[in-house]
């Protein structure tokens, strides 16, 4: 298929900055499948055919806009590469996921207006992933999972006579040798309590514990390490806010806005809070593809909620939510924002200052750190105004029989002896990921998800996949079902081949209810995951189908 109009181009002009920004947003993975901005720059003599629409070409901007409105695209689009052959033209190679076609769009413009849209399809190329590998520029700082795997001793073993294929990193990640060694060194060489021992190893333990906090703060670009509170996990971080900030600030009739895709960790604490304080919960619904309906969020904000709390990346569908945009919307009505970053910090670059939220909770054990480690970041003035969550030793400055003065932040929120070795291990994990580079981590996982979204439906008959169908819109999780086979059975049979996937409701029962699913199986990735892992999963699933006669 080829549709072309070539009206005369009167005046050469540099590429419109807005259009270049649009492509950059595509490439950064924050936007997909929406040509509306582009269309608004078409002149009346432009012609367009969209592969996701059943007919065309459409002529003129009004007609193109109407066609787009009448047939909201049910497809998602990935930019594979872009080149600028001259100052007035940009050529982008795209992949349409549902139809698995690739094509080239050549866009040129006169002044600020687009005058030419050429859509050329490569009939021979139906493999999006092959097209991606063939496309021009590889990611700037590619990550080598095969080299990194050598850092993870646990991966070098056989399970049930097969090499371990660990595809459950969203549940917890494996730990690199540097993390294990740092914890081992703490216990072997300077195990002592912190903030109290006036002796050499006690002082070293305190210094390393606080150094770990500084590393973690740097990793999420917190402006001040004192704004980072160590917790046992994301769940405890969210509970801290619900108990401390929530009990002080949520009163009768106050609304808290959540979403339909929340992990129970970002749902149950708010349920308990509003039951106790007589508040209300409201929920941003999702589309069938698992994307938040921001137009409904806008309406919910008219209730003037006190807090909006949502996940950065869905642990079940992988959806990456537009945090900045949602924070701006919430702040505009005076609501505070808590972001559950349990599935984001291990997989994408997180800059809490840029995101602009008020509270950001995450787990350490999902980001290559030790079990039982996690953190809450919050703005200093909020932490300072909040009453303690747990109380006892460490969190006080002075104690009298009938009252106490509390310590400064963050120690006010770290009652009792902390998990020193775990915190030190977590600091090393943040350093390890930082050295790889979070952009490279994201690109690696995006590539694996794109590969899985392409290979699984091709290789495994009837497999059902859930969530947004563009790797640009999702983190490294791929939920699926084999019709007629319970996901627990799928996981059990895969285990015979050494393949570890999670099966069940993934602590998102309301989300499963919304999607009318009893349960799903889920494969999830980390820096050590490879395309061969995905191939092994596909082969394993075929064995599952054979066993169940599907």
Name the residues annotated as catalytic.
507
b/e per residue 438-448 (b: at least 16 CB within 10 A) = bebbbbbbbbb
What residues from 264 to 303 belong to the interface with ligand PLP (CB under 6 A)? 265-266
Helices in 17-114 by DSSP H: which ranges? 17-27, 36-39, 60-70
CB of 527 to ligand PLP, least distance (A): 18
CB of 267 to ligand PLP, least distance (A): 10
Residue with tokens 């509970």: 239
Cα-flanking dihedrals φ and ψ of residue 464, to 5°?
A: -105, 130
Q: What does the alpha-carbon distance between residue 380 and residue 358 come to, in Å, rounded to a whole number?
A: 9
Q: Which is nearer to ligand PLP, 95 or 515 (CB)?
A: 515
Q: Which of 78, 340, 358, 443 binds ligand PLP (CB under 6 A)?
A: 340
Q: Is the dihedral of CA 129, 133, 137, 138 positive or negative?
A: positive
Consecutive H or E run containing 382: helix 380-385
Position 234 contacts ligand PLP (CB under 6 A): yes
**Which of 95, 79, 104 has the alpha carbon at shortest distance from 20?**
79
Q: Which is nearer to ligand PLP, 134 or 268 (CB)?
A: 268
Q: What does the alpha-carbon distance between residue 507 and residue 238 come to, in Å, rounded to a whole number?
A: 15
Q: Which of 49, 118, 233, 526 binds ligand PLP (CB under 6 A)?
A: 233
Are residues 209 and 194 in contact, defined by beta-carbon separation less than 8 angstroms? yes
Position 321 contacts ligand PLP (CB under 6 A): no
Q: With CB under 6 A as the rule, give the number of residues binding ligand PLP.
A: 14
Are residues 282 and 255 in contact, defined by beta-carbon separation less than 8 angstroms? yes
Position 311 contacts ligand PLP (CB under 6 A): yes
CB of 426 to ligand PLP, least distance (A): 12
Task: Enter the tokens of residue 216.
Answer: 């973690």
Position 323 contacts ligand PLP (CB under 6 A): no
Q: Which is nearer to ligand PLP, 23 or 179 (CB)?
A: 179
Q: Which of 235, 319, 407, 481 binds ligand PLP (CB under 6 A)?
A: 235
Q: Which is nearer to ligand PLP, 363 or 526 (CB)?
A: 363
Q: Which of 315, 319, 472, 524 binds ligand PLP (CB under 6 A)?
A: 315
Q: How many angstroms separate the first and last alpha carbons of the chain?
A: 37
Position 545 contacts ligand PLP (CB under 6 A): no
**Which of 374, 325, 413, 371 has the alpha carbon at shortest distance from 220?**
374
CB of 263 to ligand PLP, least distance (A): 4
**Interface mask (CB under 6 A) for ligand PLP, residues 476-515, using x and -?**
-------------------------------x--------
Q: Which is nearer to ligand PLP, 317 or 440 (CB)?
A: 317
Query: Which segment (29-37, 173-181, 239-247, 339-347) binds ligand PLP by CB under 6 A?
Result: 339-347
Radius of gyration of the chain (CA): 25
Are residues 263 and 309 in contact, defined by beta-carbon separation less than 8 angstroms? no
Coil, strand or helix at 21: helix
Interhelix angle 177-189/420-436, nearest 10 degrees: 150
CB of 370 to ligand PLP, least distance (A): 11
Task: Enter the tokens of residue 534.
Answer: 């995905």
Q: Which is nearer to ligand PLP, 20 or 507 (CB)?
A: 507
Position 263 contacts ligand PLP (CB under 6 A): yes
DSSP character at residue 340:
E
Are residues 212 and 397 in contact, defined by beta-carbon separation less than 8 angstroms? no
What residues from 64 to 123 belong to the interface with ligand PLP (CB under 6 A)? none
**Which of 445, 307, 420 has the alpha carbon at shortest distance from 366?**
445
Q: Which of 240, 342, 355, 471 binds ligand PLP (CB under 6 A)?
A: 342
Q: Residue 212 half-sphere exposure, CB side, CA atoms within 13 Å?
A: 30
Consecutive H or E run containing 120: strand 113-121
Cβ-based neighbours of 120, under 8 Å, separated by 6 or more: 2, 103, 104, 106
Position 407 contacts ligand PLP (CB under 6 A): no
Coil, strand or helix at 344: coil
CB of 309 to ligand PLP, least distance (A): 11
Q: Which is nearer to ligand PLP, 313 or 336 (CB)?
A: 313
Position 429 contacts ligand PLP (CB under 6 A): no
Q: Which is nearer to ligand PLP, 129 or 168 (CB)?
A: 168
CB of 473 to ligand PLP, least distance (A): 16
Task: Enter the tokens of residue 328.
Answer: 């701006």
CB of 364 to ligand PLP, least distance (A): 8
Q: Which is nearer to ligand PLP, 102 or 235 (CB)?
A: 235
Query: Which segment (35-43, 105-113, 336-344, 520-528) binds ligand PLP by CB under 6 A?
Result: 336-344
CB of 519 to ligand PLP, least distance (A): 15
**Which of 362, 321, 335, 347 has the alpha carbon at shortest distance from 222?**
362
What residues from 345 to 374 belong to the interface with ligand PLP (CB under 6 A)? 363, 374
Residues in touch with ligand PLP (CB under 6 A): 233-235, 263, 265-266, 311, 315, 340, 342-343, 363, 374, 507
């Amino acid at each position: 298929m080829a549709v072309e109009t070539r009206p005369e181009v009167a005046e050469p002009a540099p590429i419109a900055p807005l259009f270049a920004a649009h492509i950059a947003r595509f490439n950064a993975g924050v936007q997909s499948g929406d040509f509306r901005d582009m269309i608004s720059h078409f002149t009346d003599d432009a012609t367009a055919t969209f592969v996701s629409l059943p007919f065309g070409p459409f002529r003129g901007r009004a007609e193109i806009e109407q066609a787009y409105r009448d047939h909201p695209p049910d497809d998602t689009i990935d930019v594979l590469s872009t080149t600028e052959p001259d100052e007035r033209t940009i050529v982008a190679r795209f992949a349409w996921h549902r139809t698995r076609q690739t094509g080239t769009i050549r866009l040129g413009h006169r002044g600020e207006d687009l005058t030419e849209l050429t859509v050329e399809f490569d009939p021979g190329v139906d493999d999006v992933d092959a097209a991606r590998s063939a496309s021009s520029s590889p990611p700037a700082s590619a990550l080598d999972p095969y080299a990194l795997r050598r850092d993870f001793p646990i991966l070098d073993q056989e399970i049930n006579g097969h090499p371990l294929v660990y595809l459950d990193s969203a549940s917890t990640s494996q730990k690199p040798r540097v993390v294990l060694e740092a914890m081992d060194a703490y216990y072997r060489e300077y195990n002592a309590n912190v903030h109290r021992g006036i002796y050499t190893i006690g002082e070293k333990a305190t210094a390393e514990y606080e150094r770990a906090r500084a590393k973690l703060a740097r990793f999420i670009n917190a402006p001040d390490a004192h704004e980072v509170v160590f917790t046992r996990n994301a769940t405890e971080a969210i509970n801290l806010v619900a108990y401390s900030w929530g009990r002080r600030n949520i009163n009768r009739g106050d609304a808290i806005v959540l979403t339909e895709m929340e992990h129970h960790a970002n749902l149950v604490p708010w349920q308990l809070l509003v039951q106790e304080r007589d508040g209300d919960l409201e929920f941003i619904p999702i589309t069938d593809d698992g994307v938040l309906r921001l137009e409904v969020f806008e309406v919910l904000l008219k209730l003037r909620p006190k807090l909006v709390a949502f996940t950065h990346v869905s642990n079940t569908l992988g959806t990456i939510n537009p945090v900045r945009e949602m924070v701006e919307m919430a702040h505009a009505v005076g609501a505070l924002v808590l972001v559950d970053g349990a599935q984001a910090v291990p997989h994408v670059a997180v800059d809490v200052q840029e995101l602009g939220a008020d509270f950001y909770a995450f787990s350490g054990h999902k980001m290559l750190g030790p079990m039982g480690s996690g953190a809450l970041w919050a703005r200093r003035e909020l932490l300072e105004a909040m009453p303690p969550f747990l109380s006892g030793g460490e969190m006080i400055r002075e104690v009298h029989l009938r009252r106490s003065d509390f310590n400064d932040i963050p120690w006010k929120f770290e009652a009792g002896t902390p998990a020193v070795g775990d915190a030190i291990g977590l600091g090393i994990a943040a350093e390890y990921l930082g050295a790889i580079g979070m952009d490279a981590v994201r690109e690696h996982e995006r590539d694996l998800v794109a590969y899985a979204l392409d290979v699984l439906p091709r290789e495994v008959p009837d497999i059902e996949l859930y969530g947004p169908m563009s790797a640009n819109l999702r983190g490294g999780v791929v939920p699926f079902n084999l019709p007629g086979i319970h996901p627990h059975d799928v996981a059990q049979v895969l285990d015979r081949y050494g393949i570890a996937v999670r099966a069940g409701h993934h602590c998102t029962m309301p989300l499963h209810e919304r999607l009318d699913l009893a349960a799903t199986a889920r494969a999830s990735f980390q820096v050590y995951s490879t395309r061969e892992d995905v191939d092994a999963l596909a082969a394993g699933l075929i064995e599952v189908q054979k066993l169940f006669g599907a």
